[in-house]
Structure 1
Amino acid sequence: MTEAPVRSALLAVLAEILPGLSPAEVTDDKTLDELGADSVDRVEIVTGLVHRLGQDRSIAALADEPDIGRLIARLSEGSAG
């Protein structure tokens, strides 16, 4: 999977969970914390993203990704996890 559909899915999930967030604020170097997500939001974002993409991934492993760019890259690698 390329990064474009992962990025699109991420923006859709972020719009649901952090409705005040502008898509322009979502840059690869930002963390979910920096975007205003608390611990519950982060779990909901990663869970929603994995669900939208139809992937079977470890939520805990993805939560360890340091920033948006790495999270997108990891989810673009495929559905194994």
Structure 2
Amino acid sequence: MTTPTGARERMTAVVREVVGRILPDVPPEKVTGDKHLKDLGADSVDRVEIILGIMDRLGLDEPMSGFSDLPDIDALIDFLLHTGEV
């Protein structure tokens, strides 16, 4: 399945917005696809808050376990796009 570029850009903006709220010292341009949330300084509590914030913002109800093996932000965005059918 190919995802429209606009949907990916919107999802990236949501992720950056939520990360910025939880990690205010991280500039949005540092939230790149090749980084893991840990690379941005997010501890385990921050990561849970970020995932919950993204799901809330998107109106998704997905088990947290689905997010545990995602290697980077690109994989997170792909997962969200697939889950949310954006």
Higher helix content, 1 or 2: 2
Segments of 4+ moved more than 3 angstroms: none
Identity of aligned residues (%): 41
Assess if the C-alpha contact under 8 Å between 1:14 and 1:45 holds in 2: yes
Per-residue CA deviations over 1:28-76 (Å, capped at 9, x if unaligned) read 1100000010000000000100110111111221132110000001101
2:70 aligned partner: 65
TM-score, normalized by length of structure 2? 0.84
The CA deviation at 1:15 is 1.1
Matching of residue 19 in structure 1 with residue 34 in structure 2: no
Aligned pair count reads 80
RMSD: 1.5
Unmatched segments (≥5 aa) in structure 1: none
Q: What is the CA–CA distance in structure 1 between the aligned matches of 2:69 and 2:29, rounded to whole Å? A: 23
1:41 aligned partner: 46
Aligned partner of 2:60 among 51, 55, 61: 55
